[in-house]
Amino acid sequence: MEVFLIRVLQFMLAISLLVLLHEGGHFFFSKLFGVRVEKFYIFFDWKFSLFKFKPKNSDTEYGIGWLPLGGYCKIAGMIDESFDTEQMKQPVQDYEFRSKPAWQRLLIMIGGVLVNFLLALFIYSQILFWWGDTYVPVKDMTLGMKFNQEAKSYGFKDGDILIGTEKKAFKDFSADLYREISEAKRVDIIRDGKQMSISLPGDLNLLNMIKSDPSFVRPLIPARIDSVLVGSPAEKAGIKTGDYILALNGTPVDSYNEFIDLIGRREDMLLTAKTQADSLKARTVSIVFGNENSKDTTIVVLTPELKLGFTIPSIADIYKPVTTEYSFLESIPAGVKYGWHVLASYVDDMKYVFSAEGAKSLGGFGAIGSLFPPMWDWYMFWKMTAFLSIILAFMNILPIPALDGGHVLFLLYEMITHRKPSETFMIRAEYVGFGILILLMVVANLNDILRWLGYL
């Protein structure tokens, strides 16, 4: 429960900040051009609000809604998600959105996206300034990698040390590494101390590479025990720090990766167990462990939910990370470059959304919240907030009615043709766009529920 609450708090704080600043972008340009903002809300206040106030001599009501699906500025003389059609029947006033030149209305509409994008670049710059860029270079992972069967079919072998592609050297082990391999026609490696190359088609499916179980490539981690929890099945069985897991249920284990794969199969058995006997069989495992100073020991352990109660060294424990530090001035262009790379990668990955697997990968509030760490970590909080700001900027600029991008599309049409779409058309488009958004939200959150139930 504590982990859940920490993630919820991080998610709510990040979303509140992003919505506040996004709507603040619309608010700023509206006020700059003399357009009245009737309501400024964080979250939606459908039927009622949690909090609201209207300063004396102000045209704007400020508040917090109860429905955390975004926020809004109700701009006078504009067809938006409030569907206030009565106002549009009144004579045009000089303080209304519809009375302003198209270029001013365009800036008002892109104000939120602009703020979100600039915010992401600023946060990334400050992350680099305060924390630097810390990572383990892939070329320094001297134990090499663990590959799945698809990777091995192209010629990779467990223990290969990845160097780079025909385009550039690998930096760290991240989604970028998968992306670079998926687009590569050649991957350079070191095998048994000799450099060689593996030929690839150049169009591997990135989504399948990451989602396959096991994934296309993972850092090879030794099955060496780093610590044993007091009172755990591992401690009761006599497993100690420094021991190696050598076999599980009669299958040799050459790495922790292999151990996880074998335990995963056991977990599948546990999930499909129909009787108590089936459950008991799934949770009973035979383990061979030992080290160079002791004779190998074979034990049979009954585990609760297949949790043995030991930890293994992390990548940062096995290899020495390197840190690139930035001065304040250096962090600005570096943060801009990093943020632009994140945006470009996200846009490139959008092509997978239109595939069957991509649709299944859509996530709602649960999936987004799970991206935050289980413990409060300001570095990860700001990194996730910047990433969500990039997503919010991109999604809002999509040319879908009811989103900022839909309004921008119609404004560009007006600026090019010098003809305004009719109010009837705009109202109908708003309804269609709003319906599309609701449908996407339902699908994304339904996927979260199905994943939680084990159907996805």
DSSP 101-124: -HHHHHHHHHHHHHHHHHHHHHHH
Residue 1: pLDDT band by 50, 70, 90 thresholds?
Answer: low
What's 237-271 look like in SS3?
Answer: HCCCCCCEEEEECCEECCCHHHHHHHHHHHHHHHH
Summarised one tens digit per residue, pLDDT across range 224-234 is 999 999 988 88
Summarised one tens digit per residue, pLDDT across range 100-113 is 999 999 999 999 99
Q: What mean pLDDT do residues 390-416 have?
A: 90
Instruction: State yes or no: pLDDT of 81 exceeds 70.
Output: no
Average pLDDT taken over every residue of the chain: 89
| Bond preceding residue 233 cis, omega within 30 of 0 | no
Taking the C-alpha atoms of residue 142 and residue 192, their distance in angstroms, rounded to an integer, is 11
Q: What mean pLDDT do residues 192-217 have?
A: 93
Taking the C-alpha atoms of residue 366 and residue 363, their distance in angstroms, rounded to an integer, is 7
Residue 304: pLDDT band by 50, 70, 90 thresholds?
Answer: confident
Give the count of alpha carbons within 13 A of 176, CB side only.
15
Taking the C-alpha atoms of residue 18 and residue 2, their distance in angstroms, rounded to an integer, is 24
Summarised one tens digit per residue, pLDDT across range 2-54 is 788 899 899 999 999 999 999 999 999 999 999 999 999 998 888 888 989 99
pLDDT computed for residue 415 by the predictor: 92
Taking the C-alpha atoms of residue 259 and residue 316, their distance in angstroms, rounded to an integer, is 20
- Higher pLDDT pick, 285 / 342: 342
Rg (CA), the chain: 27
> How many Å is the maximal CA-CA distance in the chain?
91
Q: For the chain, what percent of residues have pLDDT higher than 90?
A: 55
pLDDT computed for residue 284 by the predictor: 85
DSSP 119-135: HHHHHHHHHHHHH-EEE
Any residues with CB less than 8 A from the CB of 260 and at least 6 apart, and which? 214
pLDDT computed for residue 358 by the predictor: 67
Summarised one tens digit per residue, pLDDT across range 100-149 is 999 999 999 999 999 999 999 999 999 999 999 999 999 999 999 999 99
Lowest mean pLDDT among 25-29, 81-85, 330-334: 81-85
Taking the C-alpha atoms of residue 119 and residue 142, their distance in angstroms, rounded to an integer, is 38
Four-point Cα dihedral 325, 329, 332, 333, nearest 10: -90
Q: For the chain, what percent of residues have pLDDT higher than 70?
A: 96
- Higher pLDDT pick, 321 / 80: 321
- Higher pLDDT pick, 201 / 435: 201
Query: Where in 133-216 does DSSP place strands (E)?
Result: 133-135, 145-147, 161-165, 186-191, 194-199
DSSP 59-96: S-EEEEEEEEEEEEEEETT---TT--HHHHTSPP-TTS
DSSP bridge pairs for 135: 322
Residue 299: pLDDT band by 50, 70, 90 thresholds?
Answer: confident
pLDDT computed for residue 264 by the predictor: 85
pLDDT computed for residue 422 by the predictor: 84
Neighbours of 267 (CB within 10 A): 14
Taking the C-alpha atoms of residue 259 and residue 327, their distance in angstroms, rounded to an integer, is 43
